[in-house]
Amino acid sequence: MQQPLLSKSGYFKKALNGSMELKLPDNFPGGSEVFEVVALFSYSSSVTIDPFNVAALRCAAEFLEMTEDCGSGNLCERADLYLNQVVLQSWDDTLIVLQKCQTLLPWSEDLLIVSRCVESLAFMACMEILDPEQRRDKPVVTLEALASQPWSCEAVKQIASQDLWIKDLIALPFEFFRRIIRSLRRQGMKEKYVSPIIVFYANKWILSRKTHQFWENTGDTNGTDDVNNKILVILQGTIDLLPMGEKASRVIPVGFYFALLSRSIDLGIKDVSKKKLKDQIASLLHLAQVDDFLLPRSGSESISSSVEFVTMESIISTYVSSKTRPNNTPLNNYIVADLWDRYLSQIASDPKMGPKRFMDLIESIPISDRQTHDHLYRALNTFLLVSFQILQHSPFLSSIHFLFSILVFDMPGTPKYIPRREDISLQIPKLPEVITRNMH
């Protein structure tokens, strides 16, 4: 009974030397089910090799030393031929094998099965984009449609579903996905096609509300902290994959970087990665939407001291301090100033924000950068309505009046929105006349 196994396996020749029994180790690739197929091959050579078992059979054959040294047409050669001539010529088969490799590590890695699958998928993806017949009626998926819109996970999900090959790639484990992205770049795929794939992956595994539910349902995690750790690893790896600097502005909406930054704050990512995101946002801030700006979670005691708001301050500070960059043109500075004033009008209702703090926020952007002042007026008006009791005894009362005077009388361009004296006086009867006397 042992003779066929002995004749085809160098492992058994050595292990069964003078012995009638042998127990396979627990780390045998594929376990007992794969060994049954190996035994059938040894006794009859008529076994079915398919994409679902070929990786496990190749790893088991390597473990059992079923090489050509033990006879021509042995299992190592048979499995390799099937991989090269059948699997790696088919997108679907290659995906199946790559997924199966995950449970066969490190054998599947050492035998280069993972690498061969990664390179093959990347090559076929490049061919998918380059094929003129394929793309005549259906353009390659990009994110250009989202450039002028606030970030939306659902909108991105809909775009990703337009190409099945993209859906396949973003379903892979992150380590395999990362290697495919690197191979795509190495094989010459343009960044405007590579970057959206990274965004789609992050949208699915980092930003989607269903991410936690998925990990919990797999049974591979031990509570929320373990799920967060898994997501954190993917988030860190995604940041490392993303293009940064000028070349990113044309392919990735800045709202995506804001969404990643918000998730980074929730998960407590490394400061160096958080700074990388903040610097990237600052360089593209003129392309943002105010709805992308970070706001604290509902229920926060103080908006102005929240980590989200402090992060936004840091981004604005970075932008202002880097005005020598090519992107910081006068027009872009006007756009950023308008965005900041819109944002201030949203957070000015914080009752715990003192006058000095509010003045510092206004002065974060140089007054000369403001082309219009409508939203700044709204922010000031909101702040005054909420904080008039504090202002009556504040040493910063004259500073706020001074700011109003400059805005009303000294700045170029007449603002469309100026709170009238009687409007504010009706709502704040005790507001000192020094604030309202010049507001006509």
Which among 6, 52, 8, 45 is positioned nearest to 30, based on CA atoms?
Answer: 52
Residue 44, domain extent: 3-111
Q: Domains in the chain: how many in total?
A: 3
Q: Are residues 178 and 101 in the same domain?
A: no
Q: What pLDDT sits at residue 428?
A: 42
Give the number of other CB atoms < 10 A from CB of residue 91.
Answer: 17
Is residue 132 reached through a cis peptide bond, with omega within 30 degrees of 0 on the bond before it?
A: no
Q: What pLDDT sits at residue 119?
A: 97
- Both structure tokens of 215: 């990990």
Q: What pLDDT sits at residue 348?
A: 86
Which among 153, 252, 163 is positioned nearest to 209, based on CA atoms?
Answer: 153
Q: Of 50, 82, 111, which marks where a domain is finished?
A: 111
Q: Are residues 99 and 230 in the same domain?
A: no
Q: Are residues 248 and 344 in the same domain?
A: no
Which among 93, 70, 98 is positioned nearest to 82, based on CA atoms?
Answer: 93
Give me the amino acid identity at 271: D
DSSP helix/strand/coil, 135: helix
Q: What pLDDT sits at residue 257?
A: 93
Q: What pLDDT sits at residue 340?
A: 94
Residue 255 maps to a domain: yes
Q: What pLDDT sits at residue 412?
A: 44
Written as tens digits, the pLDDT of the chain (440 aa) is: 456 666 677 777 776 666 666 777 888 888 888 988 888 888 876 788 999 999 999 999 998 888 777 677 788 999 999 999 999 999 999 999 999 999 999 999 999 999 999 999 999 999 887 765 555 556 677 777 676 677 888 888 888 888 888 999 999 999 999 999 999 999 988 888 899 999 999 999 999 877 767 766 666 656 677 788 889 999 999 999 998 877 666 678 889 999 999 999 988 888 888 999 999 999 889 989 999 999 887 666 678 778 899 999 999 999 998 765 666 788 889 999 999 999 999 888 888 887 788 888 988 988 888 888 888 888 888 887 776 655 555 555 555 554 555 444 444 444 444 454 444 444 444 444 434 444 44
Q: What pLDDT sits at residue 211?
A: 75
Q: Which residue has the tokens 């003078």?
A: 18
Q: Of 292, 327, 342, which marks where a domain is finished?
A: 292
Q: Of 111, 126, 158, which marks where a domain is finished?
A: 111
Q: What is the pTM (predicted TM-score) of this model? A: 0.83
Query: DSSP code of 369?
Result: G
Residue 118 maps to a domain: no
